[in-house]
Each structure stands twice: as C-alpha cells, then as structure tokens.
Structure 1
Amino acid sequence: MIDALGPGPDRRRSHLQGRPISGLTGAVVLGLVLAGCSSAPSTASGNDSIAQPGATSTTDSRALPPESTESSSPSPTVDPAVEQAAACVQSAVEALSPAERAGQLVMAGTPLTDADSVVSVMRKNHLGSVFLHGRSGRSAAGLKQEINRLPSVRAGDATIEPLVSIDQEGGAVQSLRGGRWGTLAKARVQGTWSTARLSRMTGIWAKQLSRAGITMDLAPVADTVPSGTERRNPPIGVFGREYGTDTTTVSRAITTVTTALEKNKVIATVKHFPGLGRVTKNTDTSSGVVDTRTTANDAYLRPFQAGIDAGAGAVMISSATYRRIDPDNRAVFSSKVITDLLREQMGYQGVVMTDDVGAAKAVTDVAAGQRAVRFINAGGDLVLTVPSDQARTMMVAITKKAAVNKNFSKKVDASVTRVLTLKQKAGLLTCGKNQN
C-alpha cells in the first residue's frame, strides 16, 4: 500500500536457507494457548520393581511390563510467566463476544491529522486496531493525546488496548515527516548503509514512533526488485522502496530493520508476501495484478524468511495473484500462499495481515464482507481497510460466518488468539493484577 500516492516450539529446516526457522517471539505463548496451557510434568517411572545392580530380583520377569523406549528424563518445565501469559490470552479470548472477536480482526483507517476521529466507529464495531493514514509533521505529544483517546475493550478481567499502525518506511512513504521527524532516506538508499548505521537510524525513528503512541509500523518492505526493472515496477521500484536488487542485500536490511524496530517496542510488519518486486502493476490502483515468476521455493522469499527469523510481529500479504503458487486465487485469499507456504513451509505462526482491502482496486470485484471472510478462511488474521466505513461490513460478515460454520469459527478463534498474543507482547493486553 502506498498511502496518499496513488519461532515457536516447532522448529523445521528452511528450504530456502538450510537452517532452522524460528517463529515469532511469543509463538511459545501461542502454542501454549492452543494446547490448553497444559504443563503438568510427566510422572517419573517407578523403579521399585527394578533390581539394583548386584542384587537378586525376586520378581518374575514375565510379570514386568515391557521396557519403555522413551527417555526417562522428566519433561522440561514451563516458565510460570509464560504459562501466566498464555492463560491471560486464553481467558481474554473466551470472554469476548462473537462480535468483539470479529472486531479484533479488523483494522480501520483514520486520518493522521485527526487520529481520534475513528472513536465512534471503533466503539460501535468493537474494533481492535487502527491505521494512521495521510501525511503530517505534527508533534508526537499532540498525536499521542489523540491516540490515548482511542477506546480499549474489556474482556473479563483483561483490558485490550488497540494496535496503532502507520506507514513509516522512508522516502515517498513516510507518513510523519518534517520538523523533529526529519526526512528518512528511501529504502534503496538505506540498503547501502552499513548494518551499524541502519540499525542506529532505525532505532532513532522507532523511538520517535513509540513516544507518539504508535505500536506498529507497516514496514519493512521485503520485496526485491531485479536490477534494471525498477521503472517497470510501479508499487516498489518506481519509488525506491526496495533495499536492493539482490536477496542477500535485502535480507541483511530486513534483519537489521526488523530487529531494531522490535527492540524499540514497535511491531515490525514484513511486506508484501510473497513479493511485489516483479509485478508490472500496482494493486492499489489496478486490478488483475499477476506475478508469473515467483514459486514456493523462490530465492526471492529469503528476505521474508529473514524478517520471520528476526522476530517480525506481523507479515503483510500481497493482493496480487501468483500463477506458479496458486493461479486461481489472489494471495490475500489463498490458503496455498498463507497456510501452506507461509505458515507450514516457512514456519511462521504469528499475525498475518492484509494490505489495504477497503479501497484497493485489486479486490473491488469481491464484496467487502467477503474480502474479510475469505482472507481469514485462507489462514489470515488482521484485515486492513483504510476507509473506516467498510469496517462494520467486514466485522458483521466475520461474525455471521462464524455463527453458522464451526470450522470458520475455529479459525476466527485462532486468529484472535494470535492477535491478542501479539498485543500482549506489545504491552497492549493485561490481565487482573498485571494491569497498571
């Protein structure tokens, strides 16, 4: 999206890099939640009937049970803090009404110059996330005052604060600019910096975002644009939004930026999976955007893997169609892309979100409510609509589908669990005595 411009416990070998893939920080919590938070240690096997060395057994060996082939070592203990966190997430999910659960899966746009104008929409539709769109040089203090007026949701003894996101990449895509915000170089320039400089500069503007009350950056861009094709790639290359023209350079930058954002308490969103670097149309302004080259084992997926390994809190899905992965569905509606490739093959268990599906031309042939339903059904979690008037349609569609389809209802619960796990990591979900 160009606004205003037109590891968990399951570790597997990476098919891209030949090394273990680690999921999102907090996936352990998610795993515990989905597993029901069971952490009872296994009981020690009885040794009373086994003769000690040098002793004579008086027990008939035929009456003994067969020897266990399993290790007799005790099960690893679970950190009480992790258990408590998982229990908090689970209890919050269970306390939410169906409409409130659906609301946690919708992110609505609101003007950066009037951030709290979305309050009534949020309250009416139980929305759990907002996106600040537009351009402004306003002060961090003034912006934070408005963000502080955005409503939270009560779920039992839990308080759930909203995610507040923004596009702050650099270059043409820098929503907060001028004054103390300064001017951020475009990613193509950032990609030429040393790792130390890139980390330091990212840390500076991440701290600025955090001080303003912004908890999520819809960055970094992990798309690689082949050298010489930049002018033929309208969503990324034309604006220099790519960190480089080879996957090694881009992967290094994605690792650095993701790490720096997360370290400074801003959720990193790696985008636009599985890549917009080789398309010739912009999904915001055109329909029928097709990638004919990217495969499920493509080297161009490496920067996305780098972001996952670095602990990115979210991955944004492209709205283009990838003919060599799923020719029948746009990525945002494709279980082959979201579930099979991103979650299972690449091991990512964190929050998956859409690019804008409220106004983007790439999805206008699908009814607004169905855009949300189809995305969640494919394995996604968080639906972004820049026009806030689409939020209710999407929330209602999710709620109605979950009421009549048990399988979809389970997917909604899993998505809400992932979103709340991410919020807890960001300090936006607190339970009982843990609340400030």
Structure 2
Amino acid sequence: MRRRHLLALAPTAALAACTNRTDPTSADPEATAPSDPEGTRPEESAAPTQEPSTEPSTQPPTRAEALLEELGPRELAGQLVLVGIHAGQQIPSEVLSDHHAGGILLLQVWEVGDAVDEIVAEARDGSRGGLGPLVAVDQEGGQVRMLRGDAARRTPSAEELGEQGPGAVTEAYTSIGEDLSGHGIGVALAPVADVVDPDLGDANEPVGGLDRGFGTDPEHVARCVAAATEALADRGVTATLKHFPGLGRVEQNTDFSAEGIVDDVTGADDPFLDSFAAGIEAGAGLVMMSSAIYPRLEPDVPAMFSRAAVQDLLRDQLGFDGVVITDDIGAAEAVADVPVAQRATRPLEAGGDVVLTADASLTGELVDAIEQWAAESEEHRERLRESVGRVLALKESMGLLEE
C-alpha cells in the first residue's frame, strides 16, 4: 500500500518541513539509513562527522506556506469551514465573499451533470484567486450517492462490494473517482471504514441498516478500504475515511438522534480500528470524526470534540497527519444541544481541523467563533495556523493553489 503524507504545516515548522523533503531516507521509508550497520562498511563508520550547517535555508516557501503568511485572521478562520449546499440551490454570496469558507459539500441528490458543473464553477469563481475551494460529496455507492442521473454512474453498495472483495471495490471506486474528477470534485466523503458489529447487523442504523459497510471482519474491511482509497487517488480524488473511531457498534444515526449513540466497546487497542489504519497507510487525505460517544476513550464527549480520540488515538497512535474533519455540526441531532460557537472551536481544541455544516446559514457564526477563539491567545492563534496549514497543504497537493 502507498502512503501519501500531507505536510502538516505547524506555524513555525516551515523550515523543518522543507529540510525533510530533501532527506532521501524520509522520502523512502524502506531506504537504508547511513547509520544502518547493514549498509555501512566499518571504515566508513569511522569517518569524521561534519558540523550541521548554520546557514538558513534558501529554498523558497511552497505556495501553501506563503499563503499561510498572507491570509488575514478571518480568511484563516474561514478555511476551516466546509459548507453544505443543497441540490438546486446556489451558494449564498456571503459564504465565500465575507466568510471565506474553505469549500463546499454537495447535499441531497444532484441528477443533472450541468448543474454540478455550475455549482463547482461558482465555488471557484467566488473564492480568492490562487486559493481554490475544496469541493466534496458523499459518493459511497448504493443508497448513498449524491450524484445520480447523468451526473454519475450507479455503483453498488459497500455491502455488495465487500461480498465480492477488494477487486470489485477497486473497480467501483475507480468509476466513482472518474465521475467526481470529471466534474472538478476533488474530495470524496468516502469510503466508510466502519466495521459493523455482526451482533447488530442491520440494527446498526447508520451503517449496517443502509448497507454502507464493507463487512464485519476487520481484516477484510481493511483491505476494501485500502482498495477504495487507492482507486480514488489514482483518479485524482482524495478519500475521506469515516466515521472515526467507528459507527459500527451504535444503534442510532447521529444525524437524527442523540440517543443510542454510545459505543461502550471501542477502545485504543480495538481491532475495529485496523480499517482506518489501512486507509491512512493507503494515503487518505482526510478522516471524518464521529459524533458518537466512546466512554473507553473519553466519557460523555462526542469523538469530534475528544482530544483522546483525535489527538491521542488518531494522530499520535495511528500517525495520521492529514486533515481531520467533523461529521455534520450544523443540523445533526447529536450535537444540537452544543452552542454553535463551541461546535466550531471544540474540534480545534481536540486536535481537529475542519468543521462541516449542513446548514449554510451558520457559516458566519462558525467563522466568527473560530476567529474570536484564535484572538484569545497566542496558543490559540498558533493552533489555528497549524490546522489551516494542513488544509492549505492538502489543497496544494490537489492543485488548488495555482496562481
């Protein structure tokens, strides 16, 4: 499997990131390092060492690094909000012009390809020059296909694909990748990496009940997730693994219920995490956090707000250095009792990056909250820049920062 690391641009890490890119051993994890005794002759190991150079790096900053310094406080905050646009609607002008949203998500069912092309063009035209928007869509196959009609071909559900095996997954997700890239959509909110508890089956409403999971065996699901991630990448589309750390053991759908969304089993050493690890290793650029609650990680706290789930487990333990995005925080019942401003800032405090809202009318309030939070302290400001750096690095890898 291939891993495509995304540069996590911490505010003071630009020079370190540049030097890492020139290190051949960091580019190839299987390369023999100079200090490896199996790759160095005895007489070479005795050679005098050279003092590290104190000269500053002359390598010019990447476009992402340059933009991180150019953007104003509100532009930085806006990059961390992904806004849902319902089929048949236009993007509210203030979403991009005043709030500088980092991208859009196509909601509901879009059946006319020309309409999809028009909304993508609208998002690009409304965004700052040289800073293209992320455009995302739920396109998993089966019942969860937001592009239909002449906008995209039909693909089987994950359950059907899982029964056929990774080869069928590759074929279907190649088709999905071709359809999305053909419309200029660079982010698939797929694949679902959740492993369905076999004791629940269809009673697991968010995944099993909608045939969204590849199966109940973690190793098999892991192979399917890796196949889907790589197939999308081969067509220029970035995969989003969801819903970390897994929705396969809850009964209710967090979009519609605040009850029945507690998973008492999943912990840091759970085999159900293997499918997410496989997707990360395969190069997924984003991971979506669940809004369910996992007491073995952090009691009473939705995963998207939990530092134990995001920073400790996903980033530190599984090594994910890409963009962490929330599940919907705009209309989802699971977080309806959380003040809107906290829905924007608690993911940042947990180690996440982007908030996704299905309610476009909340965009300004979300951006306001992030901007004000960042202004409270230098620590918050640097934390904001860290997340924006990840978003800009992802956009640069997708060719969205061309001047």
Residue in structure 2 matching 1:108, options 58, 62, 83:
83
The 1:75–1:191 alpha-carbon spacing in structure 2 relative to 1, beyond 3 Å, is farther
Residue in structure 1 matched with residue 242 of structure 2 by the alignment: 271
Residue in structure 2 matching 1:72, options 46, 49, 73:
49
Deviations 1:75-94 (CA, angstroms, capped at 9, x unpaired): 89xxx9xx65x532111011
Question: What does 1:105-144 correspond to in 2, within 5 Å?
Answer: 105-114=80-89, 116-139=90-113, 141-144=114-117
Residue in structure 2 matched with residue 302 of structure 1 by the alignment: 274
| Alignment partner of 1:338 is 2:315 | no
Superposition deviation, residue 152 in structure 1: 5.1
The 1:182–1:72 alpha-carbon spacing in structure 2 relative to 1, beyond 3 Å, is same
The 1:412–1:30 alpha-carbon spacing in structure 2 relative to 1, beyond 3 Å, is closer
The 1:380–1:72 alpha-carbon spacing in structure 2 relative to 1, beyond 3 Å, is same
> How far apart in 2 are the matches of 1:188 and 1:35?
43
> How far apart in 1 are the matches of 2:292 and 2:48?
49
Question: 1:291 aligns to what SS in structure 2?
Answer: coil
> How far apart in 1 are the matches of 2:212 and 2:364?
32
Deviations 1:360-408 (CA, angstroms, capped at 9, x unpaired): 0111111111111011111111100010011111100000111112211
Aligned residue identity for 1:111: H
Question: 1:413 aligns to what SS in structure 2?
Answer: helix
Residue in structure 1 matched with residue 232 of structure 2 by the alignment: 261
Residue in structure 1 matched with residue 207 of structure 2 by the alignment: 236
Question: How many residues matched?
Answer: 375
The 1:196–1:404 alpha-carbon spacing in structure 2 relative to 1, beyond 3 Å, is same
The 1:302–1:69 alpha-carbon spacing in structure 2 relative to 1, beyond 3 Å, is farther
| Alignment partner of 1:364 is 2:336 | yes
Deviations 1:76-126 (CA, angstroms, capped at 9, x unpaired): 9xxx9xx65x53211101111110000000011112333x43343221211
Question: 1:145 aligns to what SS in structure 2?
Answer: helix
Is the Cα contact below 8 Å between 2:10 and 2:386 reproduced in 1?
Answer: no
Residue in structure 1 matched with residue 222 of structure 2 by the alignment: 251
The 1:209–1:102 alpha-carbon spacing in structure 2 relative to 1, beyond 3 Å, is same
Is the Cα contact below 8 Å between 2:110 and 2:151 reproduced in 1?
Answer: no
> How far apart in 2 are the matches of 1:273 and 1:319?
9
| Alignment partner of 1:88 is 2:63 | yes
Residue in structure 2 matched with residue 287 of structure 1 by the alignment: 258
| Alignment partner of 1:36 is 2:11 | no
Residue in structure 2 matching 1:173, options 128, 139, 144:
144
Residue in structure 2 matched with residue 11 of structure 1 by the alignment: none
> How far apart in 1 are the matches of 2:317 and 2:47?
29
Aligned residue identity for 2:156: A
Residue in structure 2 matching 1:318, options 278, 290, 310:
290
> How far apart in 1 are the matches of 2:122 and 2:153?
26
Is the Cα contact below 8 Å between 1:24 and 1:349 reproduced in 2?
Answer: no
Residue in structure 1 matched with residue 39 of structure 2 by the alignment: none
Residue in structure 2 matched with residue 191 of structure 1 by the alignment: 162
> How far apart in 2 are the matches of 1:218 and 1:70?
52
Is the Cα contact below 8 Å between 1:33 and 1:89 reproduced in 2?
Answer: no
Contiguous gaps of at least 5 residues in structure 1? 1-20, 43-67
Residue in structure 2 matched with residue 26 of structure 1 by the alignment: 6
> How far apart in 2 are the matches of 1:225 and 1:74?
55
Is the Cα contact below 8 Å between 2:286 and 2:324 reproduced in 1?
Answer: yes
> How far apart in 2 are the matches of 1:146 and 1:354?
23
| Alignment partner of 1:382 is 2:354 | yes
Residue in structure 2 matched with residue 329 of structure 1 by the alignment: 301
Residue in structure 2 matching 1:145, options 118, 137, 141:
118
Is the Cα contact below 8 Å between 1:113 and 1:138 reproduced in 2?
Answer: no
Is the Cα contact below 8 Å between 1:33 and 1:90 reproduced in 2?
Answer: no
Could you tell which deviates more after superposition, 350-359 or 326-335? Answer: 326-335
Question: 1:421 aligns to what SS in structure 2?
Answer: helix
> How far apart in 2 are the matches of 1:281 and 1:359?
16
Residue in structure 2 matched with residue 204 of structure 1 by the alignment: 175
Larger Rg: 1
Superposition deviation, residue 304 in structure 1: 0.3
> How far apart in 2 are the matches of 1:94 and 1:330?
33
Residue in structure 1 matching 2:376, options 397, 400, 404:
404
Is the Cα contact below 8 Å between 2:109 and 2:146 reproduced in 1?
Answer: yes
TM-score norm. by structure 1 comes to: 0.80
Superposition deviation, residue 302 in structure 1: 0.2
> How far apart in 2 are the matches of 1:164 and 1:285?
25
TM-score norm. by structure 2 comes to: 0.86
> How far apart in 2 are the matches of 1:393 and 1:428?
26
Give the RMSD, CA atoms, in angstroms: 2.7
Is the Cα contact below 8 Å between 2:10 and 2:389 reproduced in 1?
Answer: no
Question: 2:15 aligns to what SS in structure 1?
Answer: coil
Could you tell which deviates more after superposition, 260-269 or 296-305? Answer: 260-269
Question: 2:98 aligns to what SS in structure 1?
Answer: helix
Is the Cα contact below 8 Å between 2:9 and 2:65 reproduced in 1?
Answer: no
> How far apart in 2 are the matches of 1:225 and 1:297?
17
Could you tell which deviates more after superposition, 224-233 or 247-256? Answer: 224-233
Residue in structure 2 matched with residue 393 of structure 1 by the alignment: 365
> How far apart in 2 are the matches of 1:74 and 1:304?
42
Deviations 1:232-252 (CA, angstroms, capped at 9, x unpaired): 211111011000110111101
Question: 1:206 aligns to what SS in structure 2?
Answer: helix
The 1:117–1:334 alpha-carbon spacing in structure 2 relative to 1, beyond 3 Å, is same
Aligned residue identity for 1:347: G
Aligned residue identity for 1:88: R
> How far apart in 1 are the matches of 2:262 and 2:47?
51
Is the Cα contact below 8 Å between 2:208 and 2:248 reproduced in 1?
Answer: yes
Aligned residue identity for 2:191: P
> How far apart in 2 are the matches of 1:105 and 1:173?
25
Superposition deviation, residue 22 in structure 1: 8.3
Aligned residue identity for 1:36: L
Question: 1:109 aligns to what SS in structure 2?
Answer: strand
Question: 1:148 aligns to what SS in structure 2?
Answer: helix
